[in-house]
Amino acid sequence: MNLITVSGPPSSGKTSVILKTIEALTRRDLKVGVVKFDCLYTDDDVLYEKAGIPVKKGLSGAMCPDHYFISNVEEVTQWGKKEGFDLLISESAGLCNRCSPYIKEIKAVCVIDNLSGVNTPKKIGPMLKSADIVVITKGDIVSQAEREVFASRVNLVNPSAVIMNINGLTGQGSFELSTLLHDEKNAVDTIVGKELRFTMPSALCSYCLGETRIGESYQMGNVRKINLENRQ
């Protein structure tokens, strides 16, 4: 089974892109499953079910979604294997720009949209910079010039990636993406022992453990203070 991790800011079009891409994959008789990771709420699993795609969802609730994802990715891999999928797609929302969900040797796709602004690529960290494929959505509603500028900005922060434009509504471009995902050579039985491409954002402080009161005396552990001095 191939495992593919798809990540991207909320509302960038991940689910639409995945749905359209799976359409093309199933036409090739590949069996595809999805695991949707989110934070508080998602009904995307219903969309997958409607399309007849086996799906599991995981809500991280009060935990950092990235940490939740990586702590569960082996379990879902085993679920996918048991179901006999050729391809398992994990979908997770990059809820902060420091998100870093990708695993070495596991194909990583970042979905980002044209409407997020030309300075966005610079602001997103490892989720964009270390992706193998960057999918840019919502190109049908901005001008050609803005599409070109946006793509070139993405290329500046990640020249290694294949950059593709996909229209999540019509599916234009999703067939093309589908040809880049499945590869027998990349099949995995387990991802135990594999490593993250980049460390996840960290925090271990009193607020992680349920503290609600404000003030220095309540702050313990990994705490950082804003720098309000003038920069030298």
Partner 1 sequence: MIGRNQIADRHIGSLLEDYPFLSSFFKENGLDYQGRDDSTLNQIFEEYDEEEQEERAMDPELLMKQTAEFINQMLAFLNEDNEVHSLTILPGTDKSGEKEGFDSLVIRKSEVISIVGPTGSGKSRLLGDIEWVAQADTPTARNILINGDVPDSTWRFSTSKKLVAQLSQNMNFVMDLNVREFIELHAESRLVENPGEVIERIIIEANKLAGESFSEETPITSLSGGQSRALMIADTAILSRSPIILIDEIENAGIDRKRALDLLLSEEKIVLMATHDPILALMAHRRIVIKNGGITKVIETTEEERTILSTLEELDRTVLAYRTRLRAGEILIKG
The residue assigned the tokens 């050729």 is: 86
Kindly state the tokens that stand for 194.
Answer: 């594999």
Closest distance to partner 1 from the beta carbon of 23 (Å): 10
Closest distance to partner 1 from the beta carbon of 158 (Å): 7
- Cβ distance to partner 1 smaller for residue 159 or 215: 159
The helix (run of H) or strand (run of E) holding residue 107 is strand 107-113
DSSP 221: B
- Cβ distance to partner 1 smaller for residue 51 or 157: 157
Distance CA 203, CA 222 (A): 6
Closest distance to partner 1 from the beta carbon of 199 (Å): 6
The residue assigned the tokens 């552990």 is: 221
Closest distance to partner 1 from the beta carbon of 85 (Å): 23
CB neighbours of residue 158 within 10 Å: 21
Q: Residue 2 in contact with residue 186, Cβ under 8 Å?
A: yes
Q: Residue 53 in contact with residue 25, Cβ under 8 Å?
A: no
Residues that bind partner 1 (CB under 8 A): 24, 27, 98, 100, 114-115, 117-118, 121-122, 125-126, 129-130, 139-149, 151-160, 162-163, 167, 170, 172-173, 175-176, 179, 197-199, 202
Closest distance to partner 1 from the beta carbon of 162 (Å): 5
Strand order in the sheet with 2-8: 55-59, 32-38, 87-93, 2-8, 107-113, 133-137, 162-165
Closest distance to partner 1 from the beta carbon of 134 (Å): 9
